[in-house]
Amino acid sequence: MGFVKKEYEFLEELGLSDCNLGCFVNGVWKGNGPTVSTVNPANNQVIAEVVEASSQDYEEGLQACAEAAKEWMQIPAPKRGEIVRQIGDALRAKLEQLGRLVSLEMGKILAEGIGEVQEIIDMCDFAVGLSRQLNGSIIPSERPNHMMLEMWNPLGIVGVITAFNFPCAVLGWNACIALVCGNCVVWKGAPTTPLITVAMTKLVAGVLEKNNLPGAIFTALCGGAEIGQAIAEDKRIPLVSFTGSSKVGLMVQQIVSQRFGKCLLELSGNNAIIVMDDADPKLAARSILFAAVGTAGQRCTTCRRLLLHESIYQNVLDQLVDAYKQVKIGDPLEKGTLLGPLHTRVSRENFEKGVQAIKAQGGKILTGGSVEMSEGNFVQPTIVEISPTAAIVKEELFGPVLYVMKFQTLEEAIEINNSVPQGLSSSIFTSRPDVIFKWIGPRGSDCGIVNVNIPTNGAEIGGAFGGEKATGGGREAGSDSWKQYMRRSTCTINYGNELPLAQGINFG
């Protein structure tokens, strides 16, 4: 059946209908679980329905995936890279439609929706090159006629559990690398963005079918916490990549660790931007606006804390308050919109509760602080003056709320930056080399992402993405993140006729 509302007709180009099976198992679409409705957060109206996976669907999918893994890992890595290249081309052909779907179902503005899909395309390109560079090492042996080398082999199956705020990009960070490394992928997308899960999977499935490969190489399961629990508990899945809150991530890690599996965690962020007295105020203000307001504050890399040197405090703050008042709030698919809705009604309620808690803890609202009266989940971008020691500052309020604080010295600013449980992203604005190198050094920021003169968000795929402390310690995307998706074997080969022992041991 087609869509009744004309604004949803573009979804038919992605193979979607008003009722969709949300489980791709062994190359077949099915769904024997509950039927759920997915809604447009701009008006809370139903877009379509999706039938989720049942426990039987899950088991069938994992059995087929385990069999497919035996075939996929035997295919040469550059040939696997060719499949990922074709996936990238399939995404390119549907870039605008997928970007519109991300904006429609998640709520981020269209530029960000298209940018998210472009990020997967970039990851495909990166992974294609990587498929010819999964290099080991040759290590000098201390024994004559011996050679030592490292081999990197696939794990088998990688489980990927993604969150609503980046409903497809995070899949790309993981799946592109996992596939070229020789692993099959089991993906559970966010339960509130099932159409994106289905649309992405249809494109991947089409590439596998065109190349006469088992569909079970890529298995997708729409569903809730019970599917995530099954993935965490499944001994057939050596690595589970989880993106979400620190609370749930800790639970996932404990479950996976109990079966000696490995976890790749991308959890909460509570990111700070420091603006020094020598910074360019206009550059800093533009960066802060994007970092704090982009994606309605629903990025893990969103700037939540702004630390301004006392000498430029009012200058930068005045620019920001003025800019916030000009932010256009509205339908994320409309041209000119900078702030779309929060993803769910619950998110909007949490924003209201957060503002109440801010006021109760001495926070002063400089601008914003209210919900927009509409059918959607719209709230005002908010700036708050508050003490860095306030309890709520240590928490992650997932919305466009920016805490502003004053500091006197670099050491004080670094201490404030490092004082929260999370450790994902951080940024400083300065032109002084001594400040820059202290900031990125061992006594500087304790985050996984340490920026200078750019925002906390908008990371490039070439670097390893991830953070420390309650952010989980995982690394995805570029650099040598691929090593997490493989197992390392240290191989020693004796090509002589004698048996000298290491460390000069003479045994008998």
- The greatest distance separating any two alpha carbons of the chain, rounded to the nearest whole angstrom, comes to 86
CA angle 130, 132, 134 (to 5 degrees): 70
The residue from 52, 60, 116, 266 that is catalytic is 266
Distance of CA 249 to the CA centre of its chain: 13
Whether 349 sits among the annotated catalytic residues: the reply is no
Element (H, E) at 265: strand 262-266
Torsion of CA 412, 413, 414, 415, to 10 degrees: 50
Distance of CA 75 to the CA centre of its chain: 28
Half-sphere exposure of 247 (CA within 13 A, CB side): 2
Element (H, E) at 90: helix 77-93
Q: How far apart are CA 430 and CA 148, in angstroms?
A: 47
**Are 380 and 417 a contacting pair, CB within 8 Å?**
no
Q: How far apart are CA 68 and CA 506, in angstroms?
A: 47
Q: How far apart are CA 243 and CA 398, in angstroms?
A: 14
Instruction: List, in sequence order, the alpha helices (H) in 181-332.
Output: 194-210, 225-233, 246-258, 281-293, 313-325
Q: How far apart are CA 505 and CA 507, in angstroms?
A: 6
Torsion of CA 473, 477, 478, 484, to 10 degrees: 60
Q: For every residue of 185-196, which 3-state class applies, written as one string?
A: EEEECCCCCHHH
**Are 405 and 386 a contacting pair, CB within 8 Å?**
yes
Which among 454, 450, 460, 457 has a CA at the least distance from the CA of 119?
A: 460
Q: Which two tokens stand for residue 348?
A: 């909007």
Cite the active site residues. 266
